[in-house]
Structure 1
Amino acid sequence: MAVPASDGDREGVFEDVRISRISSSIRVIPDFPKPGILFQDITTLLLDPVAFKDTIDLFVERYTDKQISVVAGVEARGFIFGPPIALAIGAKFVPMRKPNKLPGAVISEEYSLEYGTDKIEMHVGAVQAGERAIVIDDLIATGGTLLAAINLLERVGAEVVECACVIELAELKGRDRLGKKPLFVLVSP
């Protein structure tokens, strides 16, 4: 059974019936988008209002009373989980977008992909020095996108408290790329 894990060495693992519900609501699609990939499809999680609420509730429980002022959501599925968490804990939601999606002045961070590079951007002035932030996405694989989000936030002086994902593909060792930055995960298939 998949259980949440955090803090790099899997301390803080706990059993919760909600985790089973979340895990069983995620559909696995073999060979998508290419052969050999087991795609973790969260759209089925979103179709289950109880499992979706459980997901949001677990993150809210973790971040309530931690003085988080920024929930930074990574495009695109971080946009699904980030806003309700931000609202519930009284933080602002800051979208981390792919290039040329945000109007106005932006700052960007490039990161490596398996074949080539990509970038994420955020609005200039969206995050202030000294603000406490979490970075949220649906899944961590190789960790490149989360690391780019951390770097972008830290460049403007924010304190990134933790990264949070619904799913971790532990065999891809993305957690290792985050260095000492804590990672909280609900499901590791």
Structure 2
Amino acid sequence: MNDSEAKKTGVLQKLANNDTGRKVVFILGILGIALLFLSSLFSGSGHSSARTTQTASSAAASSVSDDAYAQTLEQELTSIIGQIQGAGKPHILVTLEEGETEVYAQGEKHAAQQQQGSSGQNTNSQETSCIIVKDADGSEHALTVTRRRPKVQGVVVACPGASQPAVQQAVLDAVSAAAGISSARICVVPSA
């Protein structure tokens, strides 16, 4: 045992052997526990209001992100169609069928039940439920596996060159490939 370890052991032994030292350590321990308890009370109320604010802001952010997604897609399609020979400067409108969706982790329970009677058949039942996780602050939420981008409902393209069938078909093919939708959901019209 080196000299510093001997000093540490000596101090701890003095506190343990001294009646006043034990009282001081006990009081410091009680104060520490009380401070931890008080901090959890004050931070717990702040977390619940912060969680409510976070939930409301995430719903608003979801609609903003849907609009931002549509605008980004419109800008990308404008850039692509602008490169098609004879198309001219396009004006594009993208509509979304549904917003961003979340896919949750699911757990399954299987149970086999035996029924007695004239038929004597076995029945199997299956129950599916979302997996719930608990945060450090005690709030619960479903475990998100992935988020899916908003689904495109349709695209309208107005461009001067759409009066020519070859340009109209090229625009239709480009939008279908870029947006990942069928040509039935795309409208290409000539503009002035």
Would you tell me which structure has more helix in proportion to its own residues?
2
- Larger RCO of the pair (alpha carbons < 8 Å, separation 6+): 1
When the two structures are superposed, what TM-score results if normalisation uses the length of structure 1? 0.22
